[in-house]
Amino acid sequence: MDPLIDDPEISNEEILYRRISPQWMIYENNQWRPSSAAFKTTQMSVHLASLISPEMTLASYPEHSLVSITAGKVRELECIIAREKNDPDPSHALVCPQKNFNVSLSGGTAKRLAKSAIWVKLNPPTTPS
């Protein structure tokens, strides 16, 4: 696998979509929020909002929700946004730590991303009691 590099064609203003699985959602203070677990992954999969709609991003994932975060925020947290050479989906990108793209994002970075995320589509898993 070729080393991943930050894609200079992705501006800091670009909106990145991240699908949120129901198990990555927490109900707290009478509202849902994404868990930091949704961001604590190796080579975190995202989609570029300028190239895909929220509906298309969720098309094969009806139980998931969708959040957005800016590319600038990702880079501010010392991560890169890379694209794989042979990926057939031009909207797809990977978010990785700058120094080692084969490790998960740190807990602190994942927590800051979760706090910065904005719901695009909220599909709560259940109504809390």
Q: What is the tens place of the pLDDT at every residue in 82-95? A: 998 889 999 999 99
Half-sphere exposure of 23 (CA within 13 A, CB side): 1
Q: What does pTM read for this prediction?
A: 0.90
CA distance 74 to 6: 11
Token pair 């990926």 is found at 87
pLDDT by 10s per residue, the chain, length 129: 567 889 999 999 999 999 999 999 999 899 999 999 999 888 899 999 999 999 999 999 999 999 999 999 999 998 999 998 889 999 999 998 877 656 566 778 888 999 999 999 999 886 554
Phi, psi of 86 (to 5 degrees): -105, 20
Beta-carbon contacts of residue 107 (< 8 Å; ≥ 6 apart)? 36, 40
